[in-house]
Amino acid sequence: MASVLRRLTKGKKKKESNSSSAPIPVPVPVPASIPVPKPPSHPRGVLVYRRRRESGFEDRIYIMYHGTDDSNVDPILSNGFKLSDNGMLGRGIYVSEDINKTLSYGNVTFKLLVYMGKTKKITSQNQSNRTTWQQEANSAWVPQGCGMVKSERSENCIRDSKQIRILGICRGWDELDTATQDKIRDRTNTTLPLDDKEKDLLEDLKRKYILP
């Protein structure tokens, strides 16, 4: 009987020893949820000029883009941009700070200087001033990622063609005929800083809307 008890006790101790040596599972920390970034508080783009007035209002001029067909380039250079009447933001000239937004509108992209002026932010198809903002502002702005459009890319609508200066063609230069190429600069793959001719256009736009 004593030998049986010794064998049972020995087996029990061995089991206890094995169980105590088993690794203790370490709880995996649950990652904190990543906050969704809020849309920027002002129209994005390449900001090339900014001035705050005594009233607190900020004048801003951006580099932006406008896509169209190559057949429209010469008429635009001769007569200026025509206001579109059938866009989601109503009457105006449609531009974007994102050149990829322009790809579906034609085989050519204009590179522009744009004075935004007073801007209305539009974030819903049901917004009451979606197509009537022209009565109280110089431009309208659909922020990137707001759910307004399927592409989730930002878009702007400019009330007056006088708010725009053409820097050149930054996509589709080779699609233009020689006569049209002679009228406009090739600005493909150009970045900041502005060159002297672009600076002259910036100063002209500033004199029109900002400087006394």
Give residue 22's pLDDT. 57
- Per-residue pLDDT band for 211 (boundaries 50, 70, 90) equals confident
d(CA 14, CA 18): 6
81 within a domain of the structure (yes/no)? yes
The total number of residues shown for the chain amounts to: 212
17 within a domain of the structure (yes/no)? no
The DSSP output letter for 56 is S
How many domains does the chain divide into?
A: 1
158 within a domain of the structure (yes/no)? yes
21 within a domain of the structure (yes/no)? no
d(CA 83, CA 64): 17
Beta bridge partners of 171: 109
H-assigned helices in 55-195: 73-79, 178-181
What percent of the chain lies above the pLDDT cut of 90?
A: 72
Q: What CA–CA distances, in Å, run from 170 to 27, 108, 113, 129, 163?
A: 55, 8, 13, 33, 19
Written as six digits, the tokens of 113 are: 């200087």
Written as six digits, the tokens of 114 are: 């744009």
4 within a domain of the structure (yes/no)? no
35 within a domain of the structure (yes/no)? no
Give residue 6's pLDDT. 52
Give residue 121's pLDDT. 96
Q: What is the spatial order of strands in the sheet that 93-95 belongs to?
A: 93-95, 155-158, 139-142, 119-121
In CATH, what number is assigned to the domain containing residue 205? Answer: 3.90.228
Read off the pLDDT of residues 27-77 as tens digits, 9 standing for 90 and up: 555 455 544 444 444 444 689 999 999 999 999 999 999 999 999 999 999
Give the CA angle between residues 107, 98, 33 to the nearest 5°. 140
Read off the pLDDT of residues 95-133 as tens digits, 9 standing for 90 and up: 999 999 999 999 999 999 999 999 999 999 999 999 999
Q: What CA–CA distances, in Å, run from 123 to 27, 39, 45, 51, 89?
A: 43, 10, 18, 26, 11
Range of the domain at 182: 46-209
d(CA 14, CA 87): 81
Read off the pLDDT of residues 83-104 as tens digits, 9 standing for 90 and up: 999 899 999 999 999 999 999 9
Tell me the average pLDDT of the chain.
Answer: 86
Asked if the model's pLDDT at residue 170 lies above 80, the reply is yes
Written as six digits, the tokens of 209 are: 């809307």
More confident residue, 104 or 14: 104
d(CA 107, CA 61): 26
Task: Answer positive or negative: Cα dihedral of 75, 112, 118, 210.
Answer: negative
Beta bridge partners of 94: 157
Q: Which of 93, 122, 123 lies closest to 105 in space, CA to CA?
A: 93
